[in-house]
Structures are given as C-alpha cells and as structure tokens.
Amino acid sequence: MAASGGSAHRLSHPLQRIQRDMAVLLNHPTLATDPILEQAGRGLLGLGPTVPQFQ
C-alpha cells in the first residue's frame, strides 16, 4: 500500500480491498498475536497454559 500511492485508497482499487480484509483479520480476537505468543512462550518455558482452550 505504501508503495502504490494515493490511488490505492480508492474503493475500486484491489489493494484497498486486500488492506481492509487484512485489517479485519488482524483485529479478530482469535488472531490477536499477544495471547497466541503468550501461550507459545509459556509452552516453551514449560509452564502450563492459562487459557482453557489451549489445554
């Protein structure tokens, strides 16, 4: 998006749709990186998971 210039922000531009889709995906609670990384780190350190669905 940064390299495509201002025209990429028009609703008809394909990159604009991709950017909106990615923003929705990255803001979805199940895809938030902090809880996922926390559980991965706890697993690497031998600590138990703190979230029931990861048990």
- pTM beyond 0.85: the answer is no
SS3 label, residue 54: helix
pLDDT of residue 35: 79
pLDDT of residue 34: 80
11 pLDDT above the threshold of 80 = no
Asked whether the beta carbons of 37 and 43 are under 8 A apart, the reply is no
* Of 35 and 44, more confident: 44
Q: What is the mean pLDDT of residues 18-40?
A: 80
Distance of CA 38 to the CA centre of its chain: 15
- Say which DSSP state 9 is in: G
> What is the average pLDDT value for the chain, to the nearest integer?
78
